[in-house]
Structure 1
């Protein structure tokens, strides 16, 4: 395995991977579709490019469709890509109340109203969680699932064990939501800046991640974090009947022990899915589509064809 983490100093290499990933996942998931009412789509907007078999592409926390556009453009000759941007993230207006349950419900409505036949779902981070959520809730409506560095349950990233339960995390989740509700946009930007080293390798891509976070609504980010920490999909993912590819990023991991621990944790979360595969990219950091775009596009294209 490749141990090149592109860290600036040896001391930086020793930073604990799990601490960084917790920061990453906590502070960070063509034309407009014309037949979907604005009321029904209040929790997200859609950009559609390409022609062919439908594919939904969902970004992560405080990201929007821009992270997926280059990948979508590479696939547009064979697929119809529906690029999702979630309310409250990267300059999109926020909604009141629950966020992720509303997104799930309205995405399923979108699939029905657009008459999409078992679309594949590709999600990054929070978007990967949404992909697992859609496929376990409505397995007959969802095709191939490609989850990019995201899990059915986030909390074990903090605790380093899949024994973690929602009950254990309830207090911490509530505290984080309250903290984000009181945060200004500048404070959100400053907090995001602390974790940029594990988001992406290049300064340009790190700035892209920071700009999207700076344009996000802190309250929306806090609500999403609360819901990620208090929603455990592991008891439901056995319902998934389609093929699942989970891709992890280990480029920010300091050593082989961290890579083994992450592999075990990720594998355990998808163990009950009948047709699931786990693969890691050992050079890319959390935003794999920014760090290793050609590699990721090739893996996605292969998974969609299989």
Structure 2
């Protein structure tokens, strides 16, 4: 896919290919481990006891990606592992997806009397974390965004000057393309970018399996909503601490990594208490590639 304003920018091969794929083609515990149907748009697995932490996976992923991290956290925290409708075998819903998930997650927080839960989100889930914290700043605690941003489109346009209006045509086109895909075609497309997602073949296969079981229409709707929803004008409303974690392991040079860091930093610049950290060894699924590093980052952020 090429951005509509491509000719206005010099090409930067490598980084932008990796970055775009990583953000758009994604996804024996302890006692007190149970599952529940919390809403139409998502289901929840609850693990552990303590301060509540909601963990949201990325595009075409489910709660299984969080289990390595949950094992490290469940002794201190009550973890609410989310699986979104239409992803990794979960039944899809009609109409808007991410706005529905946002609304129903806020209802879930109220219904279960979760006091300022921390939100840990990966990729699309990171976008959801920014959305929740800016929509209801009094309700949400610490935000930990794992390789995801308040607005996706700049990874295609190569500039944070990009607006929703610039991307509307691309978003419409992509949604239509996804709607016409078979599950096999969706799987084949995902397979092309697996080297960006995770380092080991085992984890790459895990990512592919989740995508293969995902609903193409739901994935297309999510991509459309990510490209047409810009949270940058509202993230300044976030009152809690924000930790944005980037993955630089698939980037090919120091210059690529510096460009990525600059783009990430610009997107959180208006948030009062925001910090950026990069893991230069990990690929997009940091929880699979660098589970100990990620768990330590989360624990440190939650304890501060």
Aligned to 1:32: 35
2:131 to 126, 130, 133: 133
Residues 132-151 of structure 1: matches in 2 within 5 Å?
A: 132-151=130-149
Aligned pairs for 1:148-163 within 5 A: 148-163=146-161
Q: CA offsets per residue over residues 235-293 of structure 1, 9 Å max, x none?
A: 00000000000000000000011111001100000000000000000000000000000
Give how far 1:73 is off.
1.7
Shift of 1:22: 1.0
2:81 equivalent among 57, 65, 83: 83
Shift of 1:15: 6.1
Question: Gaps spanning 5+ residues in structure 2: where?
Answer: 1-11, 28-32
Contact 2:68 2:288 in 1 (8 A): no
Runs (4 or more) in structure 1 with deviation over 6 Å come to none
Q: Please tell me whether the aligned partners of residues 18 and 251 of structure 2 are also in contact (alpha carbons under 8 angstroms).
A: no
Q: State the TM-score, normalized to the length of structure 1.
A: 0.93
Partner of 1:119: 117
The DSSP-based 3-state class of the residue aligned with 2:121 is strand
Map Cα deviations across residues 161-189 of structure 1 (whole Å, 9 max, x no partner).
00000000000000000000000000000
Equivalent pair of 1:121/1:144 in contact (CA under 8 Å): yes
Query: In structure 2, what is the Cα distance between the partners aligned to 1:15 and 1:201?
Result: 21
Distance 1:166 1:189 in 2: 28
Structure 2: how far apart are the matches of 1:70 and 1:204? Answer: 14
Measured on the aligned residues, the alpha-carbon RMSD in Å equals: 1.1
Which residues of structure 1 form unaligned runs of 5+?
A: 1-13
Q: Secondary structure at the match of 1:57?
A: strand
Q: Distance in 2 between matches of 1:76 and 1:293?
A: 14
Deviation at 1:17, TM superposition (A): 1.8
SS of aligned partner of 2:78:
strand
Question: Following the alignment from structure 1 to structure 2, what is the Cα–Cα distance between the partners of residues 247 and 193?
Answer: 24
SS of 1:68's partner is: helix
Partner of 1:248: 246
Please show how residues 1-306 of structure 1 align to structure 2 within 5 Å: 16-28=14-26, 30-33=33-36, 38=37, 41-306=39-304
Separation in structure 2 between the aligned mates of residue 235 and residue 251 of structure 1, nearest angstrom: 30
Name the CA distance, whole Å, in 1 between partners of 2:280 and 2:24. 22
Contact 1:50–1:73 under 8 Å retained in 2: no
Map of 2:7 onto structure 1: none
When the two structures are superposed, what TM-score results if normalisation uses the length of structure 2?
0.93
Q: Distance in 2 between matches of 1:222 and 1:193?
A: 17
Secondary structure, aligned partner of 2:110 = helix
CA-to-aligned-CA distance 1:69-111 (integer Å, 9 cap, x gap):
1211211111000000000000000000000000000000000
Secondary structure, counterpart of 1:212 in structure 2: helix
1:20 CA displacement: 2.0
| 120 and 43 in structure 1: CA distance in 2 versus 1, 3 angstrom threshold | same
Distance, in Å, in 2 between the alignment partners of 1:297 and 1:202 is 19
Cα distance in 2 for residues equivalent to 1:78 and 1:95: 34
Instruction: Return the alpha-carbon distance in structure 2 between the equivalents of residues 264 and 24 of structure 1.
Output: 17
